[in-house]
Amino acid sequence: MAIPARRGTAPDSRPAFSVRRTAVGFALAAVLIWGAGTVLRAAWQSAGRHPAVAVVVTAFLVTGAVALLRSRSRRRAACRATAAVTEVTHDLVDTGLAEAAAALRAQDATGPVDYAALDADEFEQAVAGLCERDGCQDVEVVGGAGDLGADVVATARDGRRVVIQCKRYGAENKVGSQDVQRFGGTCFAVHEADVALVVTTGAFTYPALDYADRCGILCVDHEALAAWSDGGTPPPWEAAPPVDDRTGGL
């Protein structure tokens, strides 16, 4: 039985070395190099006189260089692209941190709240906000008709009931003795305050301070309010002394 012969390529199918073929190849390469050099030199000289031609020549050279290097530089280009993406990511993170720090600095630069610029209702809300910030529970703004002197009521962390009257006064007006007396007649007996405060954007007269001291009412003027708001002092109710006589009937 005959076995058909297997067709295949010879172990070495390269053509034999030829001096003539090699010489012709080098001659053609030399002609091509000379011609390309001549064309490029003429184009470059023309480009020096005409900017538009310079752009075309530059684009041609760049395209040729990219075509030659593309196959060899893919891996390096990928590495450069990865490094660029990483750098951009780091820049974004750094930018985010810088923006966050700038926002914090801008917030700090706003300074303390100008309570005197608020109207009466806003001032009561602001004082209630301070109570909530400092840990009070059940904070309510109850000011209005029939409030009997109480504008804000809350429960301190230790369970004491805090009753506050808010006096949004200007620098030329002071909280007088009669204002504090009216509050003193209701804050303990009616509102069952454990801690009673009168908070104002202005100041107190000496008779008002004297009455409040004898009744156990805390007076917070504009300076004390600013220190409380900025966190420079503890909440007023934490420094409140015990009050035995809550009749307020002076």
pLDDT tens string 189-244:
999 999 999 999 999 999 999 999 999 999 999 999 999 999 889 999 987 665 55
Q: Are 215 and 184 in contact (CB under 8 A)?
A: yes
Average pLDDT over residues 148-176: 92
* Model pLDDT for residues 31-57, shown as the tens digit of each residue: 667 666 665 666 555 555 555 555 555
pLDDT at site 70: 60
pLDDT band at 113 (very low <50, low <70, confident <90, very high): confident
Over residues 6-26, the pLDDT tens digits come to: 554 555 555 566 666 666 667
pLDDT for 91-102, tens place per residue?
Answer: 543 454 445 444
Length of the chain: 250
Conformation bin of residue 133: beta by default, left when phi > 0, alpha when psi is -120 to 50: alpha
Confidence of residue 59 (pLDDT cuts 50, 70, 90): low
What domains can you pick out in the chain, each with its CATH number? 23-108 (no CATH), 115-239 (3.40.1350.10)
Measured N-to-C along each axis, helices 177-187 and 206-215 cross at an angle, to the nearest 10 degrees, of: 20
Is the pLDDT at 117 greater than 80? The verdict is yes
Question: Which three-class secondary structure string do you get for the chain?
Answer: CCCCCCCCCCCCCCCCCCHHHHHHHHHHHHHHHHHHHHHHHHHHHHHHHCHHHHHHHHHHHHHHHHHHHHHHHHHHHHHHHHHHHHHHHHHHHHHHHHHHHHHHHHHHHCCCCCHHHCCHHHHHHHHHHHHHHCCCEEEEECCCCCCCCCCEEEECCCCCEEEEEEECCCCCCEECHHHHHHHHHHHCCCCCCCEEEEEECCEECHHHHHHHHHHCEEEECHHHHHHHHHCCCCCHHHHCCCCCCCCCCC
Instruction: Give the pair of three-digit tokens for residue 54.
Output: 């310079």
